[in-house]
Structure 1
Amino acid sequence: MSDVYQRSLELHRAHRGKISVESRVPIETREDLALAYTPGVAEPCRAIEADPAEAYRLTSKGNMVAVVTDGSAVLGLGDIGPLAALPVMEGKCCLFKHFAQVDAVPLCVDERDPDRFVDAVAKVSVSFGGINLEDIAAPRCFEIERKLQERLDIPVFHDDQHGTAVVVAAALMNALELLGRPLEDCRVVMNGIGAAGSSIAEMLIHLGCRDLVLCDRYGVMDRDDPRLSDRQRELAGLTNPRRVKGGLAEALSGAQVFIGVSKGGILTREMVSSMAKDPIVFAMANPVPEIFPEEALSAGAFVVATGRSDFPNQVNNCLGFPGIFKGALSVRAREINMEMKLAAARAIRDVIASEVERDRVIPDALDPRVVPAVARAVAEAAVRTGVARTIG
């Protein structure tokens, strides 16, 4: 790992960052200049003033996403601030362009008050067709996303929440199909109910999970616990139908599925052994998973997934957000709703439906089939649910 870190540092130094701006039109002659800038540019300005929808036809707005952070929950680094978060946001912009041909700009906002943060992003949102929130700590991220979506008529999508949930759902559906187990009949235990965990839980409920137990650092979540956030309290009231009490070990006894978005090393071999026969273990803490794959497999796990690229079954958000935004932008969607997210998860699942194996329940992060399939499914769901302004 230290070698990867050093080579990455050298790459960033050599290129002075990872993104640049290129002109789509030539600026070689005086006529080029007159058409791209003054005086000719006055006419598209007048057209947009008369009809704001013309901005989608006359500017880059319709294919431009802002990648926005306050730097409060960056990767596995935590609260490092907006400036130190800039390399991650640049990287996200690279992925948008490489995988989906969507242009993206990093916006690192030095503001921790949710209302002022929302106001700052809303004021610059006119330039963009969508807002990708990134690496913002819970529970502030929930309030920011909700308030921004209420103010704006373009998609606002917190990828740490929803992108993770989409990819986890896709992988889990394939893993369960491999075992011939309906999700409705499974006991599922999740550890870590922050941004990602809460959205995974919500998506599993929409997919039909009826026996879901949520755990945090204090054990099985209790809706009466005053330490819970409003969203956690709501989810606690919708889950744990068997009223399991205790810690993670008690919750896992007899369970078919473990999903971890929490802390490295908290899942033991004994806990995996206590689960039902051939359990599914998604240990996605980074860089150290809740349990390493070889330990989980030796304890009886049938399918193991992590967030790491050096093990099979990497749950990687780049399978989700590029196609999700590409599809939403293609129909000028006003938002990205649950039906669009479910459509994205099913599309990712279906890409390898005929190729599923124990160490291949999710497509490779570089699989070129993923983005077109996800974009198409998301666009169709947007039209179907009435949030699209065009039909693509």
Structure 2
Amino acid sequence: MPPHVGTLEAQIERRRRALDALPDDFHRYIFLRELQDSNEILFQALVQSDLPHMLPLVYTPTVGEGCRRFSEIWRKARGLFISWPNRDRIEHMLANPAFDRVKVIVVSDGERILGLGDQGAGGMGIPIGKLALYTACAGIHPGEVLPILLDAGTDNAALRDDPLYVGWRHARVRGEDYDGFVDQFVEVVAQRWPHVVLQWEDFAGANAWKLLDRYRTMLPSFNDDIQGTAATAVGTLMAAVRRVGSPLQDQRIVMFGFGAAGAGIADLLVRAMVEDGASEAQARAAIWPVDCMGLVMAGQDGLSPAQRRYARRAQDIASWGCASDAAPSLAQVVRHVGATVLVGTSGQPGAFSEEVIRAMASGTAQPIVFPLSNPISHCEAHPVDVQAWSEGRAIIGTGSPFAVEGITQVNNVYVFPGLGLGVLAARASQVTDEMFLAAARTIAGMNSNGPLLPPIERLRDVALEVACAVSQGAGGPDRAEIAAVMWQAQYQGGPIRL
């Protein structure tokens, strides 16, 4: 060994130089994943030293490619893969003493990864990335988090045929067998860790709602795609309407892509408007849901319970003069409603066309446009185009990061780390809708000038403030106590490897 004794700061600089020398973000993602597996303290110290630079590499948008090519870049096991053939061994697998300290679990079945669809076992990239941010932003010790992939097979034939694929090579298990598989998992988790925070990630729409409703009272459990997205979008929208100078309940909100995420945003918007004084009927009337077939109308086949809550009736559009045999298009809805807010969670690139944005800008001085779909290739509109088509008047929030001045990234990382920390601090038995609304109001009030949300470098402060709001609402400890338990990436008594 050389005689030099390196500080953590010197190690960060050495790794940063190596990272910057790589040819593209995907190779930087691989570099960081390998560093995480070899020296977690150094990995976290590097990430926390430059969150604006590191966040897109650790999570969106680069994690999408990481999931798609997960088997190709596989080096070392991280987290826990629970496959259908091992369903009778779940209790034994989770009993591993290495997991005794676990406080937060992020679990996926890989069926709906971002806008990329079924990635099977490659979906493990999402829990790994999310939990890295729990540590970086909320100070949850890396030994207290556990990423899990429930491998029920995949309907992605290309993956099943790939000789490098690391998952179970079988079509997806569905129906009662799938439900029983998840039941077994949750029952063991609840017995093993009664107070663990269980976060569901990237389950397909029908399963996402079903699992949320079934297990949210069994243990502190939430779905980030539904509830975390909702809290972040609603909080950012609160900040936007404050800038416009009109109340939330006075907005005319068109939501394009009304699956799990869209309906979750709508539900939290209604709760926020009711809390601000509107009736529930008034709040629901402010929201116009649109999917790829057009305006969601009552009586359409295949509507989910969430979609039926917001479906419009024939009398709502009687004066529009639209053809009776087809639902009005997005552009028609925007024009006839006089939309002031447009939110996209559709995963359909280019859906917010020039026609749509110009129609919106013609009816309101400052249109609020949130194309939230991830990754960038699935975003409903590029913010530069929205700026041009609105003549620079639009207030824009995107789900993916864009190097465009004045654009806010509406990223769930503003909510879920702090929410989890607050739930743990309060030892809450459930994650409630009130907690998500408290988180939304917290992030909405943290930045008065410039972008709608605080800068990325303040994410640790954001997590602490969200945790305080959640904890105090549940009768938990105050800010000082929560801040005292947030883990810092530093060596104790010399370099060590976790």
TM-score, with structure 2 as normaliser: 0.64
Equivalent position SS for 1:207: helix
Q: What amino acid is the match of 2:371?
A: A
In structure 2, the CA distance between the partners of 1:370 and 1:167, relative to structure 1 (3 Å rule), is same
Matched, 1:109 2:150: yes
Deviation at 1:239, TM superposition (A): 12
Alpha-carbon distance in structure 2 between the residues aligned to 1:97 and 1:238: 47
Query: 10-19 or 268-277, which moves further after superposition?
Result: 10-19
Alpha-carbon offset, residue 149 of structure 1 = 2.1
Give CA-to-partner distance per residue, 1:281-306, whole Å, 9 cap, x none.
Answer: 00112223211111111122420111
Counterpart in 2 of 1:258? 342
Secondary structure at the residue paired with 2:373?
Answer: coil
- Residue 69 of structure 1: CA displacement? 0.9
- Corresponding residue of 1:338: 433
Structure 1 segment 369-384 matched on structure 2, within 5 A: 369-383=461-475
Contact 2:298 2:313 (8 Å CA) reproduced: no
CA distance in 1 between partners of 2:265 and 2:435 (Å)? 15
- Count of residue pairs brought into register by the alignment: 339
Work out which of the residue numbers 131, 138, 142 in structure 2 matches 1:93. Answer: 131
Q: Does the aligned pair in 1 maintain the 2:288–2:310 contact within 8 Å?
A: no
Structure 1 residue 269 displacement after superposition = 1.5
C-alpha distance in 1 between matches for 2:192 and 2:467: 22
**Secondary structure of residue in 2 paired with 1:93:** helix
Tell me, yes or no, if structure 1 residue 230 matches structure 2 residue 305.
yes
Q: Is the 8 A contact 2:297 2:314 kept in 1?
A: no
Q: Which has the higher contact order (CA 8 A, sep 6+)?
A: 2
1:82-231 aligned at under 5 Å gives the runs 83-102=121-140, 103-111=144-152, 112=173, 113-128=178-193, 129-150=196-217, 152=218, 154-208=219-273, 209=283, 210-231=285-306
2:206 is aligned with what amino acid?
A: P
Q: Distance in 2 between matches of 1:196 and 1:163?
A: 9
- More moved, 112-121 vs 370-379: 112-121
Provide the residue aligned with 1:308 in structure 2: 400
The alpha-carbon distance between structure 1 residues 334 and 18, as it changes in their structure 2 partners (threshold 3 A), is: farther
In the aligned structure 2, how far is the partner of 1:75 from the partner of 1:274? Answer: 29
Read off the aligned partner of 1:77 and give its amino acid letter. L
Q: Which runs of 5+ in 1 are unaligned?
A: 21-58, 385-390
TM-score scaled to structure 1, two decimals?
Answer: 0.80
Cα distance change, pair 304–285 in 1 and its aligned pair in 2 (3 A) = same
Q: Percent identity?
A: 30
**Structure 1 residues 194, 330: closer, same or farther in 2, change over 3 A?**
same
Q: Say whether 1:74 aligns with 2:116.
A: no
Superposed CA deviations along residues 238-267 of structure 1, whole A, max 9, x for unmatched, are: 999667750111111121000001111111
Give yes or no for the alignment of 1:293 onto 2:388: no
Structure 2 Cα separation of the partners of residues 239 and 143 of structure 1:
29
* Runs of 4+, deviation exceeding 4 Å: 13-20, 237-245
2:287–2:310 Cα contact (<8 Å) kept: no
Instruction: Return the offset for 1:7.
Output: 2.5
Is 2:288–2:312's contact at 8 Å kept on the other side of the alignment?
A: no
**For the residues of structure 2 that align with 1:147 and 1:110, how far apart are their CA atoms?**
20
RMSD: 2.6
Alpha carbons of 1:181 and 1:80: their partners in 2 closer, same or farther (altered >3 Å)?
same
Partners of 1:238 and 1:361 in 2: CA distance: 34
